[in-house]
């Protein structure tokens, strides 16, 4: 049975400024009876792959049954705190940790698991959970990825093995608001410390073992290198290490952000080396 609700996405072509990417591509929720827009934050951005903002009204009441596809929303924006404990990785379980143990000491791997709260799930056998925990220690999401335990490379065949814990837990109305992976650790450093930013969670974890005197954070994606994500580290000295061939894009962004008070130095190290496209610091070092 399909239900219909009090508010639905506006079906006219009217677009507003997106609260996330600030482009005029935002479709608001509308009260179907009064034809008034609900507010400025509930709605969906049309830039699905570049932005992906989609916030449903929390008070959407079911009124009739018909073929409308909007669903009701309860808003568990954060996972409960005990979930990270429940899915905590123990040694020799996730294939990512097996790979780390083949390369680094047990002590340093255990330290990394604790520091980043690395988890395990059998969503796919031996898959890893990278929790995104914000500065207030609230869990914004858990990214699930599968690695090959021998090579440490991501499993991308027969499909790219990436998902989220809220999908595994079937939390249909979970509003995912990502933060930098590792962000919770800024509570442990001082304003004089240097923060290093990479794209992949795996690289942040490995670099924290190889060069532990810096705080290593990950954007999780190329497009994650943006103001909304970097805002919490505005007051810190930041060195960004874009993947090979991403330097130009990240550097342009860093220049813009520095004009707004950020202190981000973008490293062209990988760009200057003879590496394959998309290679990162770990490919270079190991
Ligand atoms: Zn947007």
User: What CATH number is associated with residue 231?
Assistant: 3.40.1360
* Span from the CA of 22 to the centroid of ligand 1 (angstroms): 6
173 domain-assigned: no
Q: Give the pLDDT confidence score for residue 53 in this predicted structure.
A: 84
* Span from the CA of 173 to the centroid of ligand 1 (angstroms): 19
* Span from the CA of 270 to the centroid of ligand 1 (angstroms): 30
The better pLDDT of the pair 93, 194 is held by 194
* Span from the CA of 181 to the centroid of ligand 1 (angstroms): 21
* Span from the CA of 168 to the centroid of ligand 1 (angstroms): 25
Cβ < 5 A residues, ion ligand 1:
18, 20-21, 45, 47, 51, 53
Dihedral sign, Cα of residue 143, residue 147, residue 153, residue 157: negative
246 domain-assigned: yes
* Span from the CA of 166 to the centroid of ligand 1 (angstroms): 22
Whether 180 and 197 have beta carbons less than 8 Å apart is answered as yes
For residue 57, what pLDDT band results from cuts at 50, 70 and 90? confident
Domain that includes residue 118, residue range: 82-168
* Span from the CA of 28 to the centroid of ligand 1 (angstroms): 12
* Span from the CA of 264 to the centroid of ligand 1 (angstroms): 24
How many domains are there within the chain? 3
Dihedral sign, Cα of residue 176, residue 179, residue 180, residue 186: negative
- For residue 232, which of 116, 111, 140, 114 has the smallest C-alpha distance? 140
pLDDT higher than threshold 70 for residue 190: yes
The better pLDDT of the pair 142, 38 is held by 142
User: In this predicted structure, which of 30-34, 97-101, 181-185, 192-196 has the lowest mean pLDDT?
Assistant: 30-34
- CA torsion 197-126-154-140 (nearest 10°) is -40
* Span from the CA of 24 to the centroid of ligand 1 (angstroms): 8
* Span from the CA of 227 to the centroid of ligand 1 (angstroms): 13
State the chain's mean pLDDT as an integer: 88
* Span from the CA of 57 to the centroid of ligand 1 (angstroms): 17
* Span from the CA of 41 to the centroid of ligand 1 (angstroms): 11
State phi, psi for 230 to the nearest 5 degrees: -90, -15
For residues 103 and 267, give the distance between their C-alpha atoms in angstroms, rounded to a whole number. Answer: 26
* Span from the CA of 175 to the centroid of ligand 1 (angstroms): 15
Final residue of a structural domain among 39, 73, 107: 73
Q: What is the pLDDT of residues 75-102, one digit of tens each?
A: 447 999 889 888 987 766 899 999 999 9
Q: Rounded mean pLDDT of 186-210?
A: 95
- Asked if residue 163 and residue 111 are part of one domain, the reply reads yes
- 65 CB neighbour count, 10 Å cutoff: 10
The better pLDDT of the pair 3, 64 is held by 3
pLDDT higher than threshold 80 for residue 259: yes
- Asked if residue 229 and residue 159 are part of one domain, the reply reads no
- Asked if residue 202 and residue 276 are part of one domain, the reply reads yes
* Span from the CA of 252 to the centroid of ligand 1 (angstroms): 20
- 77 CB neighbour count, 10 Å cutoff: 15
- Asked if residue 196 and residue 162 are part of one domain, the reply reads no
User: In this predicted structure, which of 152-156, 191-195, 273-277 has the lowest mean pLDDT?
Assistant: 273-277
- Asked if residue 89 and residue 69 are part of one domain, the reply reads no
Q: Which helix (H) or strand (E) holds 284?
A: helix 281-285
- Asked if residue 200 and residue 114 are part of one domain, the reply reads no
For residue 128, what pLDDT band results from cuts at 50, 70 and 90? very high
- Asked if residue 271 and residue 200 are part of one domain, the reply reads yes
175 domain-assigned: no
272 domain-assigned: yes
- Asked if residue 261 and residue 232 are part of one domain, the reply reads yes
Final residue of a structural domain among 13, 47, 73: 73
3-state class of 84 per DSSP?
helix
Q: What is the pLDDT of residues 220-243, one digit of tens each?
A: 999 999 999 999 999 999 999 999
- Asked if residue 153 and residue 101 are part of one domain, the reply reads yes
pLDDT higher than threshold 60 for residue 63: no
Final residue of a structural domain among 48, 73, 98: 73
């Amino acid at each position: 049975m399909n239900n219909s609700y009090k508010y639905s996405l506006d079906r006219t072509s009217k677009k507003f400024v997106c609260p996330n990417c600030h482009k005029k591509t935002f479709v608001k929720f509308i009260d179907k009876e009064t034809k008034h827009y609900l507010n400025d934050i509930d709605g969906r951005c049309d830039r699905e792959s570049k932005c992906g903002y989609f916030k449903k009204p929390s008070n959407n009441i079911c009124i009739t049954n018909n073929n409308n596809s909007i669903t009701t929303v309860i808003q568990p924006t954060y996972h409960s705190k005990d979930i990270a404990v429940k899915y905590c990785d123990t040694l020799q379980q996730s294939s990512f940790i097996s790979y780390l143990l083949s390369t680094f000491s047990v002590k340093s791997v255990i330290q990394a698991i604790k520091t980043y709260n690395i988890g395990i799930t059998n969503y796919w056998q031996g898959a890893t959970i990278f929790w995104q925990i914000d500065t207030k220690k609230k869990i914004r999401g858990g990214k699930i990825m599968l690695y090959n335990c021998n090579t440490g490379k991501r499993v991308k065949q027969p499909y790219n093995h990436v998902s989220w814990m809220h999908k595994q837990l079937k939390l249909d109305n979970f509003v995912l608001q990502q933060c930098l992976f590792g962000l919770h650790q800024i509570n442990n450093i001082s304003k004089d410390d240097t923060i290093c930013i990479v794209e992949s969670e795996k690289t942040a974890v490995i670099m924290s073992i190889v060069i532990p005197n810096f705080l290593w954070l990950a954007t999780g994606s190329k497009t994650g290198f943006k103001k909304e994500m970097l805002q919490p580290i505005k007051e810190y000295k930041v060195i960004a290490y874009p993947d090979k061939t991403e330097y130009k894009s990240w550097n342009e962004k860093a220049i813009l952000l520095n004009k707004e008070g950020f202190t981000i130095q973008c490293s062209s190290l990988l760009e200057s080396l003879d590496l394959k496209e998309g290679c990162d610091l770990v490919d270079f070092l190991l």
